[in-house]
Amino acid sequence: MVRLDELHPEEAASMRNAAPRFGDFDHDATPWITPPPLAESTICLVTSAALHRRDDVPFRFGDSGFRLIPDDVDPNDLVQSQVSVNFDRTHYQRDMNVVLPIDRLRELHGAGEIGGVSPVHFSVQGASPDAKTFEASAADMANRMRELGVDAAMLAPV
Amino acid sequence: MISHYLQRHGIPTTTISLIREHTEYVRQPRALWVPFPLGRPFGVADDPDFQRDVLRSALRLLETATEPTIEDYPHDVPEGGGDGVWSCSIQLPEPEVSDLEAALRAEVDLLTPWYEEARRRRGRTTVGISGARPEEIDKVVSFIVAIAEGSGFKEIPPSARGPNWNHPFPMLVRFVVEDLRAFYQEAVTSQEGTNPPSQQDMHSWIFNRTALGQAIIRIGQQIAADEEPRLKMIRGLIVPEGFWRDEVSWGAAPPGMERIHFIRSSLAYLAGEEA
């Protein structure tokens, strides 16, 4: 249960201190875009869990780049270079889908609820002293998504 | 932030939110706030129905939201999400502080069959982020023992040579510790039907009941005794707040230095990029 009051006071303070750093961001510069109906939309996942394949270059702490995860990745090929000790890894260690729900996305596609699943998903290192450093790599991600026929992205933090 | 940047480049987004306060600041286009622990955006392991419902709820915002929206997911994680009721069913001996290496190796020997069973049944392991293969866990132990006993933070301990270590030193210390924690955690969650532990259960068990916890604390003590203040960032990444008794686990910036500059300098130092 993530309510800040329930975290250790140091962790909660750190989370509270992080929030105002987003305050000077020009939110209104982001346009509103409406995707096609879900049943016609190809979806891709973006995780900030710093997951990557074993032979990928691991993320640095503060890394603003991304790694690609194929939709048919062998779950045993995934490792995690997220540096924080302050989140629950036990469920991810038992089941990839609690962080990266590739199997669930395929089931929704099989049931006709979404139009398709991107052949590739994206992973970033969420532990960053400055989230604005992601601007360039997000532009690159968006270009790749368009090439892949992605209609909308499902983002999930850890 | 990434949701804003993606959308500015033409890709509509929907987001899981774990910390509502952050989402209220960031104001992503569409966010589903979920009342789950950090690290578990889709709730609970091995429960496809629950995970699918969370995913479907977040995706549905792509159809229903017409302006920036934060929706609250109405369900908490189902029974079995952990939260203080777990106890380890594998009996480990009381950690023997006088011989850390013997105590640590005895624990690893006891846990190995459980780890192997879990790995075989799940078809996967998350051990290996340091670069060591799961078969090289003995070198992971050698590494941790050497650092805990004072081999220093200048070079990889000679007793731990062999694995294709995958991170710069001394940052590597953080990932070697993670690999042994992953080995322990995968082993003790190997049994089906047991009430699975939360991360807090795991922290308490490791730091109060195992030689691994004692080894990690000793690494923290080596960092405290070292003249290099930037090492404290590693301590903050291996000892959760609340388990380091002397001060804040992360340490503090030296007097007169702004915290953000201390963090940046620490990052460069730990990556081996700055003396």
Nearest chain B Cα to A20, which residue?
B25
Indicate whether this model's pTM tops 0.95: no
Q: What is the mean pLDDT of residues B110-136?
A: 96
- Alpha-helical segments (H) within A25-154: 90-94, 102-110, 135-148
Residue predicted with more confidence, B52 or A28: B52
Name the B residues in 53-112 with CB < 8 Å from any A CB. 55-56, 58-60, 62-63, 66-68, 76, 82
Q: Does B123 touch chain A (CB under 8 A)?
A: yes
- B154 within 8 A of B139, measured Cβ to Cβ: no
- Residue A19 has a pLDDT of 63
Confidence check: pLDDT of A1 > 50: no
- Residue A20 has a pLDDT of 60
Q: Which residues of B touch A84 (CB under 8 A)?
A: 237
Cα–Cα distance for residue pair A33/A101, rounded to 1 Å: 24
CB neighbourhood size of B63 (10 A): 17
Nearest chain A Cα to B59, which residue?
A154
Confidence check: pLDDT of B87 > 80: no
Q: Does A60 touch chain B (CB under 8 A)?
A: yes
What is the interface size between A and B, counted as CB pairs within 8 Å?
273
- A129 within 8 A of A52, measured Cβ to Cβ: no
- Domain count for chain A: 1
Q: Does B242 touch chain A (CB under 8 A)?
A: yes
The conformational region for residue A83 under phi > 0 = left, psi -120 to 50 = alpha, else beta, is alpha
Of the candidates B7, B166, B188, B91, the residue with the CA atom closest to the CA atom of residue A89: B188
Which range in A18-27, A69-78, B186-195 is most confidently predicted, on average pLDDT?
A: A69-78
Q: Which residues of B touch A88 (CB under 8 A)?
A: 37-40, 82, 198-199
Confidence bin at B89 (pLDDT 50/70/90): confident
Residue bearing tokens 């960031």? B26
Q: List the domain boundaries for chain B.
A: 2-72, 100-270
B239: distance to nearest CA of chain A, Å?
Answer: 7
For residue A13, being part of any structural domain is answered with: no
- A78 within 8 A of A51, measured Cβ to Cβ: yes
Q: Does A10 touch chain B (CB under 8 A)?
A: yes
Q: Which residues of B touch A64 (CB under 8 A)?
A: none
Confidence bin at A4 (pLDDT 50/70/90): low
- Residue B85 has a pLDDT of 64
Q: Is the reported ipTM for this assembly greater than 0.90?
A: yes
Domain boundaries, position A132: 35-156
Q: What is the mean pLDDT of residues B146-167?
A: 96
pLDDT digits (tens, 9 = 90+) for B249-260: 877 788 888 888
Question: Which of A21, A40, A56, A94 is the best substitution to test chain B (most B C-beta atoms within 10 A)?
Answer: A94
Cα–Cα distance for residue pair A157/B9, rounded to 1 Å: 20
Q: What is the mean pLDDT of residues A120-140?
A: 88
For residue A29, being part of any structural domain is answered with: no
For residue A11, being part of any structural domain is answered with: no
As a whole number, the mean pLDDT across chain B is 91
Of the candidates B153, B185, B158, the residue with the CA atom closest to the CA atom of residue B172: B153
